[in-house]
Amino acid sequence: MPETSSTTPNPSRGARSAECVEDTLPHDTQRTAPDAQRRRIGEPVIEWCIKLSGLVVVAFVFLIFLFLLRDSLSLFRQYSVKEVLFGSEWLPISEPAKFGVLPLLVGSVFVTFWAIVICVPLGVGAAMFIAEVAPKPLKHVLKSLVEILAAIPSVVLGFLGIIWLGPFLRSRFGLSTGMCGLTGSLLLAFMALPTIISISEDALVGVPKSYREAAYGLGATRWQTLWRVILPSASSGIVAATMLGIGRVVGETMVVLMVTGNAPVMPKSILQPLRTLTATIAGEMGETVGGSEHYFALFAVGLVLFAITFTINFIADLFLRRARK
């Protein structure tokens, strides 16, 4: 393109353009010389870029927190913190509206608790099998299958929950409806399994070989070695896996929105319909007008959720660090 422009019928321009070309040519041929110098300048630049990207991540987390805090604080100007956190009624469109988060919080806790009760034994068991018992070819197949499990979109699981698991549980347990906490817990357990299996398996594999050899040397059977030596040594890693699994389950939205029935009742049992924090945000955010009470209330729900996942991830991190030591 520059050549085209320099051949235009403008005498003064033509002359100057030619000058430019001369100017650029020697510069091009000298390129090898400042290479070392460029490296000397380049390295710190790249270092800075990397540092910057690290800082950007920190800034994002911080900004998200500030944003949540700012908009939830607007709610607390009209409603007391006690009223919101411990209020037992969530009636966002009534007059006057009530924004008690407690039933949603309890709903989330119920679903998460049962999901973890179901998936931790299963996940750790599977990890033990993959890490210690399974022959090599089977191990590879299982590992990739676990990865595929992680790749199933949650909306697909939710759909299966509505048309198959819900009706199945209803007829099995004689429930009044299949849209209940248990359906959600089972599907969430299924979703948390890959996380728990792969992190526990890493922890089990990471147990030093000498422990195993010592146990066998003392005449322990394979089961005794696995159960009394390897599992306790990997316990920090397994706790971390559980914590990350909980984080995954608490934050999951689509499945619970689709299958738990979303009744904003204070749940007494897992076999009852219930409403979680995430489903509330997803189900209601579309209809709120920016700047309304309901809008701020959803931000407050988000803040509660953020606090929970932050704490859980923090604990998981502590255990992971201990596991590495």
Partner 1 sequence: MKIAVRRGLRAVEESNAFSDGFALANADQYNLRRMGLRTTTIVLSVFCATVLTGCGEAVDPNEPQGFVQTKGSDTIVNAMQETAEEFMKDYPHVFVAVTGGGSGVGIASLINKTTEIATASREMKGKEIEMAEKRGVHPKEIVVAYDGVAVIVNHHNPIDRLTIEDLHDIFTGKTTNWRQLGGKDLHIVTLSREVSSGTHMYFKEVVVQLNKKGSTEEFSKETLLLTSSQAIVEEVANNEGAIGYLGMGYLSDRTKAVLVAKKPDEFYPPTVQNVVNKTYPLSRPLYLYTDGEPAGVTKLFVNFALGPMGQTRFMATGFVPVGETLARNQ
Site residues, partner 1 (CB under 8 A): 1-2, 4-5, 8, 10, 13, 16, 19-20, 23-24, 27, 91-95, 162-163, 166-167, 170, 176-179, 257-258, 261-266, 273, 275, 283-284, 286-290, 292
Nearer to partner 1, 135 or 286 (CB): 286
**Three-class HEC string of 248-302:** HHHHCCHHHHHHCECCCCCCCCCCCCECCHHHHHHHHHHHCCCCCHHHHHHHHHH
Nearer to partner 1, 95 or 151 (CB): 95
Work out how close the CB of 94 gets to partner 1 at its nearest, in angstroms, rounded to a whole number. Answer: 6
- State the nearest-atom distance from the C-beta of 86 to partner 1, in Å: 17
Cβ proximity to partner 1: between 248 and 275 the closer is: 275
Q: What is the DSSP string of 130-148?
A: IIIIS-HHHHHHHHHHHHH
The two structure tokens encoding residue 97: 């509206």
Closest distance to partner 1 from the beta carbon of 99 (Å): 12
**CB of residue 18 to partner 1, shortest distance in Å:** 11
Provide the minimum distance between the beta carbon of 19 and partner 1 in the complex, in angstroms, as a whole number: 7
Task: Output the CA angle 235-106-99, nearest 5 degrees.
Answer: 140
- CB-side neighbour CA atoms (13 Å) of 224: 9
185 versus 195: smaller Cβ distance to partner 1:
185
For residue 147, the one-letter residue type is E
Closer to partner 1 by Cβ: residue 180 or 196: 180
- Please say which residue, 33 or 57, places its beta carbon nearer to partner 1: 33
Least Å distance, CB 265 to partner 1, is: 4
